[in-house]
A and B are shown apart, each in its own frame.
Chain A
Amino acid sequence: MQQLEQEVRQFIIDNFVFENGNGSFSNEDSFLETGLVDSMSIMTLVEFVKEKYAISIEDEELVPDHWDSVSRIASFVQSRRGLVEASQQNVADGA
C-alpha cells in the first residue's frame, strides 16, 4: 500500500505540480479542496492507473470517493487488485 501511494504521489508530482514543486501535500489532502488535480488531470491519472496496475475502471467508479486523494486512489487500486487476484484464483481452482 505504501508503495502504491508513493507511485501515485510521484506521478502527480511529475505531471500536475508545476514550478518544480516538491509536492507539499499530504496523501490525505483532497484534490478538490486544494485544486491540485482537476477533472482534466483526473482523466490522465485514470489512464496512468489503468495501465500501470492493469485494472479496468468503470465509469461509475470515477467518483471522488475513489480518486480525491493519493490515499483514496491507492485504496481503490488495492481493492481492485484484490478482486482481480481473487477471480483469477477462482478460475485456477475451477480448472
Chain B
Amino acid sequence: MLDIDCAKVTAVLEESIREIVFHRLRKKGAVVGLSGGIDSSVTAAICGRALGKDRVFGIMMPENDSSGDSLNLARLLADVLGIKTTVEDIGPTLEVLGCYQRRDDAIRKVIPEYGHGWKSKIVLPNLVESSQYAIYSVVAQSPSGEMKKVRLTAEAYLEVVAATNFKQRIRKTLEYHHAERLWYAVAGTPNRQEYAQGFFVKNGDGSADFKPIAHLYKTQVYQLGGYLGVPEEILRRPPTTDTYSLEQSQEEFYFALPLDQMDLCLYGKNNGVAPDEVATAVGLSTEKVQRVFAMIDSKLHSTRYLHLPPQLIEPVSEVDVTH
C-alpha cells in the first residue's frame, strides 16, 4: 500500500524543488535544520540532489536536553552528502529566555520537589488500548533514579508546552538568519503524519518556505532514505522528539501508535478504506482502528489553526498569497 517507486518519486521531488526554490521563490539554495533524524536527513539529501550540494546549508542546533546522538548523526549525514554546515548551540539562548526555568516551574506545580538534576518528559495514556482522553502526564526522574508520574493540570501542561516550544522557535530563527544572509530558502522537514496531524510548533518547525516531504508517509520517507544513501545509523534510529531530558518517543508524546501502524491508519482513512480492512492490514482490532480514526479527526480539527495564515478583516487584493 505504501511502497513507492523511489526513483520516480525522487525525480519528481528534484524537479519540484528546483521549480520552487529557483523560480517561484527566486532563491539560490536551501537551508535545512539537521536533527540527525530521518526527515531532515532525507530533506537535505533530496535538496542536495535537486539544487546541487554546494547550494544546501545544514544547521545543527543542539541544546541542553539534546541527545548526543543527534549531533553525531547530523555530522555523519553532512559528511556523506558533502554539504556545508554550522553548529549553533542554542542552550545559552534558551537559558536567557527562561525556557528551562519556565518549564521546571510548570512541572513544580504538580511535582513540588522537581529541581536540579531531575529529568522529565510528558506522555499520553495509551489512547488505542483505552478510550481515555488525551490528557498528558509528566514523567519525572529524580537524581537518585526514582520515577514519578503525575497527571498535568491544564495550566501546567500549557506552560510546559509553551516553554519547550521556545526550542523549535529559536531554531527556526537561526534557519531564517542563515537563509537571509545566503539568499536561500528555508526547507521544512515534516512528513505527512506530522504535517497532517499538527505535530509541529507554530512559527517553530511549522514555519518554512517549502516542505518537500510533507505529502509523504513516514514509511515512504524511510524508503527514500534508503534509496538516497542516508546512513544506516539514521535509518535505524527510532523516531524521537529529542525535546525533553528523558528520552521520549513520538508515539508516547503524540501519535499513540508505532509509526508504521499510524501510517497505515492515516493512509486508510485518507483513501476511504473501511476500518475492518485497515484493521487486518495493521494487526489491530476494528474497534481500535475506529478509535484511531476518531483520534485523527480530532487532531485534524484541533490543530487546524496551526495551518491557517494570519486572519485578515478584509482581503488585501494586491497581495497574491497563492504562488
Instruction: Report the nearest B residue to A42, measured CB to CB.
Output: B133
Residues of B within 8 A of A46 (CB): 135
**With contacts A39-B134, A59-B125 known, what are 14 further pairs, Cβ within 8 A?**
A38-B298, A40-B154, A40-B302, A42-B133, A43-B135, A43-B157, A59-B132, A59-B135, A59-B137, A59-B151, A62-B125, A62-B132, A63-B130, A63-B132
Instruction: Report the nearest A residue to B301, measured CB to CB.
Output: A35
Q: A63-B130, A65-B131 are in contact. Are A38 and B154 (CB under 8 A)?
A: no
Interface on chain A toward B: helix, strand, loop, or mixed SS? helix
Q: Please determine whether B133 and A67 come into contact, CB atoms closer than 8 angstroms.
A: yes
Query: How many interface residues does chain B have, given as a range?
Result: 10 to 19
> What is the distance, in angstroms, from B40's C-beta to the closest C-beta of chain A?
29
Q: A47-B153, A47-B154, A59-B125 are in contact. Are A39 and B135 (CB under 8 A)?
A: yes
Instruction: Report the nearest A residue to B158, measured CB to CB.
Output: A40
Residues of B within 8 A of A35 (CB): 301
Query: Which chain B residues have a beta carbon within 8 Å of chain A's beta carbons?
Result: 125, 130-135, 137, 151-154, 157, 298, 301-302
Q: 20 A-B residue contacts at CB 8 Å?
A: A38-B301, A39-B302, A40-B154, A42-B135, A43-B152, A43-B154, A43-B157, A46-B135, A47-B153, A59-B132, A59-B135, A59-B137, A59-B151, A60-B130, A62-B125, A62-B132, A62-B135, A63-B130, A63-B133, A67-B133
A42 to B134 Cα, complex, angstroms: 9
> What is the distance, in angstroms, from B297's C-beta to the closest C-beta of chain A?
10
A65 to B132 Cα, complex, angstroms: 9
> What is the distance, in angstroms, from A80's C-beta to the closest C-beta of chain B?
16
Q: Please determine whether B133 and A39 come into contact, CB atoms closer than 8 angstroms.
A: yes
User: Is A82 located at the chain interface by the 8 A CB criterion?
Assistant: no
> What is the distance, in angstroms, from B198's C-beta to the closest C-beta of chain A?
13
A residues 15-69 touching B (CB-CB < 8 Å): 35, 38-40, 42-44, 46-47, 59-60, 62-65, 67
A39 to B298 Cα, complex, angstroms: 9
Q: Please determine whether B131 and A44 come into contact, CB atoms closer than 8 angstroms.
A: no
* Centre residue among A39, A46, A65 by max chain B CB count within 10 A: A39
Residues of B within 8 A of A38 (CB): 298, 301-302
> What is the distance, in angstroms, from B291's C-beta to the closest C-beta of chain A?
11
A residues 63-78 touching B (CB-CB < 8 Å): 63-65, 67
Residues of B within 8 A of A42 (CB): 133, 135
A14 to B298 Cα, complex, angstroms: 23
A38 to B154 Cα, complex, angstroms: 12
> What is the distance, in angstroms, from B199's C-beta to the closest C-beta of chain A?
15
Residues of B within 8 A of A63 (CB): 130-133
* Centre residue among A43, A46, A67 by max chain B CB count within 10 A: A43
